[in-house]
Amino acid sequence: MHHFVQRSFGLASVVLAICANSSLQASQIEGYSEPFRVIEVASDETGVIEELHVQLGDTVSQGAPIMRLRSDLYHAQIAVAKQQMSVEGRREAAEAEVELTKLRFDKIRGLRQSGHARTAEVARAENEYRVAVANLKSVEEELQSRQLEHEKLKAHLHRRTLRAPCDGVVTIVHRQSGEFVAPNQPQVITIVQLDQLLANFALMPSQAAKLSHGQSVRVHFSDSNRAVVGTVHFISPITNAESGTIPVQVLVDNSERKLRSGERCTVTIQD
């Protein structure tokens, strides 16, 4: 009887060990990395490229100038608009007319109260004063419109210098200096953002169900032999009908540029 208890206890230990090992089983899913963003940098202005500030393979910073379109006409228009905006002669004349008609109106109104002016004279002086006020308002509105036109031309000129929307690396140069940027082909360069990478995997539904957005996971990059911790960036709500898998993206920091885009990588998911 004593030996039977020992054998039963030993068998139970083996079963527990097998169960424990089964619970620790995990699957390694292979995927690939890609840039966090690929941006076709385009101009919303048209014209001939006067200066191209980047070349293939250059690293650019956000806000850095990429290219400048020829803008001689805009500079001339801005100079004219500035001149028209700064003309103060008409405003001063209109203000003087308002002051003069106001004094005349007040004087005739006072004479009317003492019986030395007719009602018609008071009405005429009042009308002249109102016309002068209206003229001054018209001049001020015109000068304000010219100021807005000046600001509009400056905004157009500013947009004729294309700037990098983010930090990245130039991978394609679509236009060179002297070429025309047209509305139907506004692309100038292509920038890839590599300070972060997206690791793409295809998981079975049971594996994807164990993940959540923002969860930390470990990703191993095969070529560079580096293991990094990333965060779940995207879990597709749609299952691929052909493979039965769910696309999942993991966001990986690459600020030191030690990982390459397109590199094969694996993620470990507990079964």
State yes or no: pLDDT of 2 exceeds 60: no
Contacts of 116 (CB under 8 A, 6+ apart): none
Phi, psi of 38 (to 5 degrees): -120, 115
Into how many domains does the chain fold?
2
Residues 141 and 183 in one domain: no
198 assigned to some structural domain: yes
Claim to verify: residue 60 and residue 122 sit in the same structural domain: no
Report the 10 Å Cβ neighbour count for 139.
Answer: 19
Tokens linked to 200: 């793409």
State mean pLDDT over 199-217.
Answer: 94
Picking from 108, 125, 159, the residue at the C-terminal end of a domain is 159
Residue 194 falls within a domain, yes or no?
yes
CATH assignment at residue 60:
2.40.30.170
Reported as a single tens digit per residue, the pLDDT across 7-29 is 333 333 333 333 334 445 678 99
Evaluate whether residue 18 is within a structural domain: no
Average pLDDT over residues 248-253: 96
Residues 114, 234, single domain; the answer is no
C-alpha to C-alpha distance for 104 and 195, rounded to whole angstroms? 74
Query: How far is 77 from 121, CA to CA, in rounded Å?
Result: 48
Handedness of CA 154, 159, 160, 165 (dihedral sign): positive
Boundary (domain end) residue, out of 159, 181, 210: 159
| 252 and 219 Cβ atoms separated by less than 8 Å | yes
Q: Are residues 143 and 230 in the same domain?
A: no
| Residue 265 in domain | yes
Same domain, 182 and 261: yes
Per-residue pLDDT at 13:
35
- Point out the domain boundary residue: 114, 135, 159: 159
CA pair distance 14, 222, nearest whole angstrom = 36
Domain annotation covers residue 237: yes
Domain interval for residue 95? 72-159
